[in-house]
Structure 1
Amino acid sequence: MANAASGMAVHDDCKLKFLELKAKRTHRFIIYKIEEKLKQVMVEKLGEPTLTYEDFIGNLPTNECRYAIYDFDFVTEDNCQKSKIFFIAWSPDTSRVRSKMIYASSKDRFKRELDGIQVELQATDPTEMGIDVIKGRVY
């Protein structure tokens, strides 16, 4: 089922891996890539549950757009262990204009496929999704 605006389909694995992250917590993060030739959003990388936020940031390409899901664990002021699922639209200033347009036009439909996202971030450089930004969005 392709998106009318961008023509991008969503590979079944995208939803499957997201459900694993959400329900079973088998992944810390998922990085998704649009394969332009296939006109499809695919899973590019899965992060082990033991990886850190720095590991996640290090797995994002510096000059290419991606969608990403990050499962952020934190402790509340009441000392409760919680987590929030972040959707991050990574669109660095240095990426190709065509790529930025494709990712921007496909984002909403792709996000709708992933039921359970709690926080959304749009980032064009690493400072816009630094750990301080993430922490600021959970409280």
Structure 2
Amino acid sequence: MSSGIPVNEDCLKAFDAMKRLRLYKYVIFQMNADFTDVVVGHRYRAKKVSGDSSEIASITEGETAENTSNLEGASATEEEVFADFLKHLPENECRYVIYDIEYTKKDVTSNKIVFVTWAPDTAKIKPKMLYSSTKNNLSKRLEGVTTHIQANDLDEVTLDSFQEKLQRV
């Protein structure tokens, strides 16, 4: 049963920019302070934006150094991006994440967007319930994402564990 908490259009724009344009490596979604909307919390720019495309401008509008890592779009290793992701994952609060992760399966390197639900054991009960009941509402809007990772402890949020899960898919 869905909680009915709506997903802000900026979340869907960020997902589309990740999927279609490969603009972001990860996007962290969170509920706003009064738990009435799922919004973009933080993102990591995967590449430099050039040109004056109105589409790109509408997607990147509102990006600041506080809510976007790697604004300049410099290249980084998967390990560096994952370390940045962990830095922006709160220890005691729930989040949703879409992550465009690189992995190797049978000597072939690929990328896949995974949907992560972060619900730490230390989070308060009400937010955990709201995030749990809103998860399906959000994941249905993220068309094409087929891999879901549920994480409740930082030990479950490692680059190796994510890549291992994708190798089994």
TM-score past 0.5 threshold: yes
Counterpart code for 2:44: G
Are the counterparts in 2 of residues 27 and 47 from structure 1 also a CA contact under 8 Å?
Answer: yes
Q: Which residue of 2 aligns with 1:57?
A: 86
Counterpart code for 1:57: L
Are the counterparts in 2 of residues 84 and 118 from structure 1 also a CA contact under 8 Å?
Answer: no
The structural deviation recorded for 1:118 is 2.9
Match for 1:104 among 123, 132, 136? 132
The structural deviation recorded for 1:74 is 2.5
Secondary structure of the equivalent of 2:86? helix
Q: Write out the 4+ residue segments of structure 1 that deviate beyond 2 Å after TM superposition.
A: 74-78
Match for 2:103 among 46, 70, 74? 74
- How many residue pairs align between the two structures? 135
Structure 1 CA distance, aligned partners of 2:35 and 2:157? 29
Structure 2 CA distance, aligned partners of 1:92 and 1:128? 10
The within-5 A match list for 1:7-26 is 7-26=4-23
Structure 1: 5+ residue stretches without partners: none
Are the counterparts in 1 of residues 31 and 37 from structure 2 also a CA contact under 8 Å?
Answer: yes
RMSD (CA atoms): 1.6
The within-5 A match list for 1:32-51 is 32-37=29-34, 39-49=36-46, 50=76
The structural deviation recorded for 1:36 is 4.7
TM-score between both structures, scaled by the size of structure 2: 0.74
Counterpart code for 2:31: I
